[in-house]
Structure 1
Amino acid sequence: MEVFAEFLDRIDPQHRARMEDILSRVMETFPNLMPTMKWNQPMFTDHGTYIIGFSISKKHIAVSPELAGMVRFAEEISKVGYDHTKELVRIPWDRPVDYSLLEKMIEFNIMDKAGCTTFWR
């Protein structure tokens, strides 16, 4: 979690624990992923390729599994009631995190990008 310490220190204390929980859970569930900070955002990579990233705003946590992940899970994202764009999912601070969906997005990207040799698709 040390790699994310500076990022977490800048978050409103009301939201810091929740963001720490999300990042910790990803690290525990997917220990082979590399936690890193790029563009002032926490993200996870696998063999040098992007898997998932997070950012925050006043109203939500944004989760970005890249366009392929969004296309693959658009229906499930809508079913849980999260707002989304073509590149990210918005999880409001006052709504629960659907960890099952988050884990599916990460698993998909790990498998889908297994042979990827670039950071982005």
Structure 2
Amino acid sequence: MEVFNEYLDKIDDPLQKERLEHVLQWISDEFPQLGSKIAWNQPMFTDHETFIVGFSTAKAHLSVAPEKAAIEVFSERIGQAGYTHTPQLFRIPWKTPVDYELLRDLIAFNIEDKADCTTFWRA
């Protein structure tokens, strides 16, 4: 988690900082095998040097970027959780609860789906 400290320290809103810190810690606890890094100015998790999920903050929401394949598989559940999405990310409004079951399933999907992936991003 220390790798994320500098990023977290730049977040001015204490509630946003606390929310993102909790999400990042939860992922670290749930998936201790994942690597953590800052790349493209966002905190992200990797597995065998391939991208699993990344995050960024905006005024109104936390963006979760799991790549297009995961968005396609989970788009219905993302909508049911009350989140909006684009082809590459979904948005969790700051005042909306985090659906940790969705996040767990999405990360597990990416880990399994990319088990044989030899590139950072899906081809």
* Correspondence for 1:7: 7
Matched, 1:104 2:92: no
Q: Tell me how many residue pairs correspond in the alignment.
A: 121
TM-score under structure 2 normalisation? 0.97
| % identical aligned pairs | 55
Kindly state the Cα deviation for residue 14 of structure 1 after the two structures are TM-superposed.
2.3
Kindly state the Cα deviation for residue 15 of structure 1 after the two structures are TM-superposed.
1.1
| Structure 1: stretches of 5+ with no match in the other structure | none
* Correspondence for 1:37: 38
Question: Which stretches of structure 1, 4 residues or longer, exceed 2 Å deviation after superposition?
Answer: none
| Structure 2: stretches of 5+ with no match in the other structure | none
SS in 2 for 1:20: helix
* Correspondence for 1:80: 81
Kindly state the Cα deviation for residue 13 of structure 1 after the two structures are TM-superposed.
1.5
The residue type paired with residue 120 of structure 1 is W
Question: Counterparts of 1:84 and 1:49 in 2: how far apart (Å)?
Answer: 22
Question: Counterparts of 1:80 and 1:7 in 2: how far apart (Å)?
Answer: 27
The residue type paired with residue 16 of structure 2 is H
Residues 39-80 of structure 1 deviation map (CA, whole Å, 9 limit, x = unaligned): 110000000100000000000000011000000000111111
Question: Counterparts of 1:117 and 1:66 in 2: how far apart (Å)?
Answer: 15
The residue type paired with residue 32 of structure 2 is P
Matched, 1:58 2:59: yes
Question: Counterparts of 1:79 and 1:18 in 2: how far apart (Å)?
Answer: 21
Question: Counterparts of 2:77 and 2:28 in 1: how far apart (Å)?
Answer: 23
Please, what is the CA RMSD of the aligned residues?
0.6
* Correspondence for 2:23: 22
